[in-house]
Amino acid sequence: MRFLYTPLLTMALVTPALAQEASFVVMLGKDTIAVEKYTRSATRMTGELASRLGAAGNRLSYEVTLGADGRPSAVLYRARPLAGTPAANQPREVRITFVGDSVKREAVFADSTNTRMLPAANGIPFVYPGFGLLEVAFAQIRKNKLPTATMTMVGGGGGNPGTVTFAVAPGDLISATGDGLIILFRVDPSGNLLSVDASGTTQKLMSTRGTGSLDFDRIAGRMVPLGVLSARGTASGSFMQSVVFVNYGRPQVRGRTVWGGLLVPPDTIWRLGANEATHLATSRELTFGSVVVPPGLYTLWFFNAAGGQQLVINKQVGQWGTIYDPAQDLGRVPVTMAPTAEFLEDFTITLRNVAQGRGAIEFAWGSQMATAAFTVR
């Protein structure tokens, strides 16, 4: 993705003494899934985030107090569903106080306050799918000329916060890695965030800093929660009085490139769906070319190799779709690629009974379909 910004904007952003205002529209393909606006000065950062993710969406405000060294000393989070006030079992606000290598988290309910101490070495505030709060980290990295920095991302949730490692790349890029994700940020010399390229994550979000005012209330007021981002689907077929069954996630194209593009990049292993790993169950022995699949449960993957695409059958089961162990491969099967009869927005797996004792499994998405033939014993 190309990231565009004007020289005038860049010049304005390199003066940290003044409060800097910013807005971001977070895109999932062609769909807007979040908007964020915030103001950051040397001692304070305030902002709002409205997100369509989840069953009810989320509208959140935050206030960060920064010390003289630019590190956060306290954060106040206030969250509610897009359409109303917080539910009775949700806190009215969450107060975060940074204490050495820990944070004190106070969840304030209508009738009580729940207090916990959580580990948070080198902690910084963070709320997903917003990225503006990362300017707290980027300002420290730029000011101290750090080549790398591992920081704890402290949100309003009650679990132990995770860590992310930032690494300064040539030019204005800073990369972030952690929990299997890779995100690229364009960051100016003062630590101001210019753009986000999260195509290295499973959700593949993109965002660029706005150059004008954002009518936040109007956009947030029209947002409709996305609900389940990728629904689960099933495919089944009857072969010689036995059943073959596939359970998988059904991501949508949303205007993005598919086979060999953003969603299924070249020379990568793909989970053949979304969220949990795609599972195949069979009550009879299946043979894919030279690969024999005994009765049982397996996971399916797709290797988009430059020399020819392959269906990967793996013995590890029950895992999330980002957890793939090649040592557990039962085998890899060449597939044929062909155009689909019509464009398919939702990823679709189909099991076909071709003839007595013979079948095919099809993986169709966008304008192409991969097919692997098998026999049943």
Q: Give the per-residue pLDDT at 231.
A: 87
Whether the per-residue pLDDT at 6 is higher than 80: the answer is no
Q: Give the per-residue pLDDT at 9.
A: 36
pLDDT digits (tens, 9 = 90+) for 73-132: 999 999 998 887 777 788 999 999 999 999 999 999 988 999 999 999 999 999 999 999
Bridge partners, residue 328, by sequence: none
Tokens of 275: 């969220």
Q: Which residues contact 164 (CB under 8 A, 6 or more apart)?
A: 150, 151, 153, 176, 177, 178
Percentage of the chain with pLDDT > 90? Answer: 77
Chain centroid, CA 356 distance in Å: 43
The residue out of 221, 252, 286 marking a domain boundary is 221
CA-nearest of 201, 206, 223, 263 to 53 is 223
Based on the fold, state whether residues 106 and 148 are members of the same structural domain.
yes
Query: Looking at residues 245-255, what average pLDDT do you find?
Result: 95
Taking the complete model, does pTM exceed 0.85, yes or no? no
Tokens of 38: 């915030």
Based on the fold, state whether residues 238 and 128 are members of the same structural domain.
no
2 is a domain residue: no
Query: Cα separation of 357 and 374, whole Å?
Result: 9
How far is CA 94 from each of CA 55, 76, 333, rounded to the nearest angstrom? 21, 6, 51
In this prediction, residue 3 has a pLDDT band, given cuts at 50, 70 and 90, of very low
Based on the fold, state whether residues 237 and 215 are members of the same structural domain.
no
Mean pLDDT of the chain: 90
Based on the fold, state whether residues 174 and 73 are members of the same structural domain.
yes
Tokens of 26: 């977070």
DSSP-derived secondary structure for 311-338: EEEES--S-BTT---GGGEEEEEE-EEE
The range of the structural domain enclosing residue 324 comes to 231-376
226 is a domain residue: no
Q: Give the per-residue pLDDT at 4.
A: 36
Based on the fold, state whether residues 54 and 140 are members of the same structural domain.
yes
| Phi (first) and psi of residue 199, to 5 degrees | -70, -15
User: Is 16 or 139 the better-scoring residue by pLDDT?
Assistant: 139
Q: Give the per-residue pLDDT at 15.
A: 42
**Torsion angle of alpha carbons 181, 184, 187, 191, nearest 10°?**
10
Based on the fold, state whether residues 41 and 22 are members of the same structural domain.
yes
Query: Cα separation of 180 and 110, whole Å?
Result: 37
The residue out of 176, 196, 221 marking a domain boundary is 221
pLDDT digits (tens, 9 = 90+) for 307-356: 899 999 999 999 999 899 999 999 999 999 999 999 999 999 999 999 88
Q: What total of structural domains would you count in the chain?
A: 2
Tokens of 37: 């606006």
In terms of residues, how long is the chain? 377
The residue out of 221, 242, 268 marking a domain boundary is 221
Tokens of 350: 């189909």
Tokens of 222: 């029209």
Whether the per-residue pLDDT at 17 is higher than 60: the answer is no
Whether the per-residue pLDDT at 255 is higher than 90: the answer is yes
User: Residue-wise over 90-115: b if at least 16 C-beta within 10 A, else e?
Assistant: ebebbbbbbeeebbebebeeeeeeee
